[in-house]
Structure 1
Amino acid sequence: MNKYVNDFLLMFQFLTRIPVNISLKCEKENFKRGAIFLPLVGFIVGGIQWLIYMLFFKVTSLGIAAIFAVLSGILVTGALHVDGLGDTCDGFYAFKGKDRIIEIMKDSRIGTFACIAIVMDIMLKVNSLAYSSQYSSALIIIAVPVISKFSIVFLSFVGKPAKSTGSGNLFVGNMSGIVVSISAFIAAAIIYIMLGLKVTAAMFITAVIITLLVNKYSESKINGLTGDLLGANNEIVEIFVMLVYIALYKI
């Protein structure tokens, strides 16, 4: 199998719950090379959400369509990023020190802060999606996961691992400038074709700023990043990108 096909399928298998019943090479180098395809994985996930949205919009209301679009994204990704957001909030707001924070983040049980974060995440996404698609293009549904997946690559590049082991280390500290550049080019090309230059620039500026802030905050809490932080950043970037997109059409 071509190494790039292998690495794309590896990313698709790792980040979604859509079956890929093929034996794939999954060394650290495969994850590094495969990271360039994360925006394409986001494009597929967003495409599924867009199809679900359009289907329900034709037979129900805009609000219900937005709910099912957000729900489909969670189901397709196996709630991977939402779980990361919840675990991060449980750990970060326990105020117990680095080791205890990481221990709490690894706990499969859900705490108060995780519950609040997940509810707010879903509410903000549903309302932002319903509003933005009403007043502009529903293609924002596809663009959002494209830019958020790029932010995972960028965060992995600028950050450092908080632990010596963990699934997050397949990405964190394993990226190169070339990988980030190619990933950025793919994401920018997709968003530009769908929504134009102004939206593309606004999304990238927002994603980069939020990602740098998340990285800085993570360093202050646990001296680095974990896989949960990658998922949390994905969710936070998606929310802020949609809010900025709405602001562009309100100004």
Structure 2
Amino acid sequence: MRQKGRPILAAFQFLSRFPVRAELDFTPELLKRSAKYYPLVGAAIGIVIWIIAVVASLGLPVLPVSVILLIAWVWLTGGLHLDGWMDSADAFLSYRPREKMLEIMKDSRVGAMGVLACVLLLLFKMSLLATLLSRGLYVSGAAMMTAPVWSRWFMSLAMRHWPTARGGEGLAGRFRGQSGKDTLLATLLALVLSAGLLLLAAVPEWGDMNIIIPMVYYVLAPLLAWGVGSWMASRMNARLGGLTGDTYGAINEGLEAVLLLLACLLFQ
């Protein structure tokens, strides 16, 4: 296997259930190098979700389709980020001291706050997906394919700009040392992918759409991901003294929902 391709394969193996057949040693160096390709994994997830949406919409109403999409979305990610969302909810909503919150995050069990946060998030996402599906293939495709790109882009950004709560220990500690070049490459990749996916989503309605709103969405999506993601990361950092692997996942889940909401507000 070529060394240049290993970080891409590592990103897909770590963040998704895509059948990547490769024996990889997830060393800190490989994990750091793979983070800049997270937007690519998000794009792949978004494309699969949209294909499922197109096929399922041929015979089902929007509400069952949105539930199917949620199931597929969670399966494709292995529930990795959702687990982080639940663990973070258990920790932050416990209103305990820092050390106790970190201990709660390490516990494999899910508490009441985590379950409630998961249910409410999935209900919110389902309502957003149903709304987008009701507004057409372009609207739903534009949102479903780009939201995972920008949410995962911000995870790579957070790894560079905020410290880790446990120092060199834990999963987050293995990603320490992201360079400015890595962040720039992740940003350029996300911009290119986002533009391509917006064009791909437009294929079913080519020649019969307003190009202004997609352009506005293309500009606002990364700005919103950066703004909301920075706010979330800063609040978590203030409480924990840094970020953890769970908080990266929680931020990803929150940003996906926010970006879907942006599409609902823009594409009327």
Note the alpha carbon deviations across 1:147-177, whole angstroms, 9 max, x for none. 1110111111111100031112222x33111
Alignment pair present for 1:27 and 2:30: no
What is the Cα deviation at residue 241 of structure 1?
A: 1.0
- The residue that corresponds to 2:149 in the other structure is 146
Residue 65 (structure 1) shift: 1.0
Distance 2:240 2:33 in 1: 27
Residue deviations 1:46-103 (CA, integer Å, cap 9, x gap): 1221122122111211111111112111011110000000000100111120110011
For 2:251, give the aligned amino acid.
Answer: N
Partners of 1:39 and 1:227 lie apart in 2 by 17
Secondary structure of 2:101's counterpart equals helix
Q: Which moved more, 1:126-135 or 1:151-160?
A: 126-135
Cα root mean square deviation, aligned:
1.4
Deviation at 1:237, TM superposition (A): 0.4
Post-superposition Cα deviations, 1:21-69, rounded to whole Å, max 9, x if no partner, equal 3212432222222112111111111122112212211121111111111
> TM-score, normalising length from structure 1?
0.94
What residue number does 1:120 align with?
Answer: 120
The TM-score, its normalising length taken from structure 2, stands at 0.88
Deviation track 1:198-248 (CA, whole Å, cap 9, x = no partner) reads 212111011001111111111221110000000000000011111112112
- Tell me, yes or no, if the aligned pair for 2:128 and 2:264 is still in contact at 8 Å: yes
Unaligned runs of 5+ in 2: 199-213
Please say if 1:238 is aligned against 2:256.
yes
Query: Which of these residues, 159, 167, 174, is aligned with residue 171 of structure 2?
Result: 167
Report runs of 4+ in structure 1 exceeding 4 Å deviation: none
Unaligned regions of 5+ residues in structure 1, if any?
none
Match of 1:201 in 2: 219
Against the structure 1 CA distance between its residues 202 and 100, is the aligned structure 2 distance closer, same or farther, given a 3 Å change threshold? Answer: same
Q: Whole-Å Cα distance in 2 between the matches of residues 3 and 208 of structure 1?
A: 31
3-state SS in 2 of match to 1:138:
helix
Distance 2:48 2:227 in 1: 28
Letter in 1 for 2:16: T
Q: Is 2:3 aligned against 1:3?
A: yes
Distance across 2 between alignment mates of 1:4 and 1:70: 33
Q: Which amino acid aligns with 2:153?
A: F
Cross-structure match for 2:240: 222
Equivalenced residues, count: 249
Q: Larger Rg: 1 or 2?
A: 2
Could you say which residue in structure 1 is the equivalent of 2:13?
13
| 2-structure distance, mates of 1:226, 1:161 | 6
- Partners of 1:153 and 1:95 lie apart in 2 by 28
Superposed, 1:23-102 pairs within 5 Å as: 23-102=23-102
